[in-house]
Amino acid sequence: MTNDLKFRVGSRKSELALIQTKHVIGLLKQFHPDREFEIVTMTTLGDQILDIPLPKIGEKSLFTKELESALSAGLVDFIVHSLKDLPTSLPNGMAIGATLSRENPRDALVLQKDIKHHTLATLPEGSVIGTSSLRRTAQLAKKYPHLKVENIRGNLNTRLKKLDDLGKYHAIILASAGLNRIGWTNRISKMLNADDFLYAVGQGAIAVECRANDEKTIKLLEPLYDLQTALRVIAERSFLKTLGGGCSAPVAVTSDLKMIEEKQVQIALKGAVWSLDGAEEIVDEVVGVLPVLSKIRCAECPYINGDNEIKDIECCAVCPMKTSPTEPLPKKKRIEVPSELFNDDPHEKCPVAMPIGSDFMGECPFLQGDIKDFVGHPPLNGATVETLKSGFNVCPVLKNLKAVAALRKSTETPVINGNGDKIGDNNEHLFVGLVGHKDASPSSLRKAVELGESLAKKLIEKGALAVMTEAQNTVHSQISQVVAQC
């Protein structure tokens, strides 16, 4: 930090990452009008790997490594993430300083325009659903076996354009929060019921990562730190961490929070594990009651903040603390995607046959900038743009996979043993990476951690570890086959 009033904010270069970063800065300026914020963009290792699904190459920390290195070195003061991208074990010295009020975490079904009246259940047999997620693929196979699932690659813009223009997919499934944040809520055909279609741990929540000992930044973030979101995601992350961290297996959750007394909340947490083909499903749920120190509310709640009212909140529609009708949200202008970007989409030319498997967190580096950057992109590891367009045998970025695979072995979180032993935080003052909240005692936050642990143990008793191990072995063998091509 160059002075006490200026903060440097680390961010990836992707469109959604920058939208989220600017959103956080905009909120902070409302509470701290005298502060200055500078965005520092950088490319992470995850972005350098050409659209390879990260759980197939290792731990989610690969995706945030460069950003966290800059944070540790003091080059930036905090980083804005989608919480689901953050591993359940953060590097030593790192912490989640705040989680913003969570948007709706549910998945959304986006249908072709001429079949918008359909649901997953009513789509004709053989309809093609595009997804690159293990979790979604397994649930579709389990609950909607009449549908055909095919991989869909690319960033959000490209996936929507493929749905609209290719005629290959009847529908795609995306996180509703991402569509909301980028201004494309009108593309949602159906919201998927959370009880029927569980979502990813932390989905819909924005997390701000900072140094665990940086009290000045933690204090700066405090007005944005939402307690009801924190309680839910602490339980969810604890569940995943106890099962085995950011594992490459189909794991999903739902959580609900409601007030039962003025200073007491109830959290219902449901979790499930599937085999890759959805044939095996292990599911259970737990309920816990937690005390809080004041009446719970969204940190961004317009009913409470008065003159600081923040209108752009999707979560109000489902807010359990809502006391008056919600004003209609202003429609955001859709961002136009240049047609030439779609025509030159390297995902279409990539010769590496990657099977359906996981959320694509690493995007093609050519799609990180505008069309001019794509056309004039410098050679990559000795390969020219012409070589890439002509359909080379192996993507040059895949040469990094051997190093990535070695890094995975040194960073992955150990799986809990069969006795249900706990896996603790690297800092006893953190709660699955999150700092404490002023409106909840440490013992209350610990109860949220224990709630997630108890759910994981119930699944473990039913055989979840064996199902997960088989899925992980299959996924890792797939990436070994890709590495062999290099």
* Backbone φ, ψ for residue 79 (5° rounding): -130, 140
Count Cβ atoms within 10 A of the Cβ of residue 219 and give its class: 0-12 exposed, 13-18 middle, 19 or more buried: exposed
**Interior angle at CA 87, CA 246 and CA 318, nearest 5:** 95
Q: What is the CA radius of gyration of the chain?
A: 22
- Written as six digits, the tokens of 464 are 């979840």
The whole-angstrom separation of Cα 181 and Cα 332 is 9
Look at the block and give the residue holding tokens 């749905």.
Answer: 163
The whole-angstrom separation of Cα 131 and Cα 356 is 7
Torsion angle, CA of 237/238/239/241, rounded to 10 degrees?
80
Give the ranges where 332-441 is alpha helix by DSSP (H).
339-343, 346-349, 371-375, 385-390, 401-411
Known catalytic membership, residue 85: yes
Residues in contact with 369: Cβ distance below 8 Å, sequence separation at least 6, in sequence order = 13
* Backbone φ, ψ for residue 173 (5° rounding): -115, 130
The whole-angstrom separation of Cα 273 and Cα 198 is 10
The whole-angstrom separation of Cα 309 and Cα 303 is 8
Residues in contact with 461: Cβ distance below 8 Å, sequence separation at least 6, in sequence order = none
Could you say which of 77, 85, 226, 345 is catalytic?
Answer: 85
In terms of Cα–Cα distance, which of 453, 415, 466 is closest to 286?
A: 453
Strand order in the sheet with 94-99: 36-41, 6-11, 78-82, 206-211, 94-99
The whole-angstrom separation of Cα 353 and Cα 456 is 34
Catalytic site positions = 85
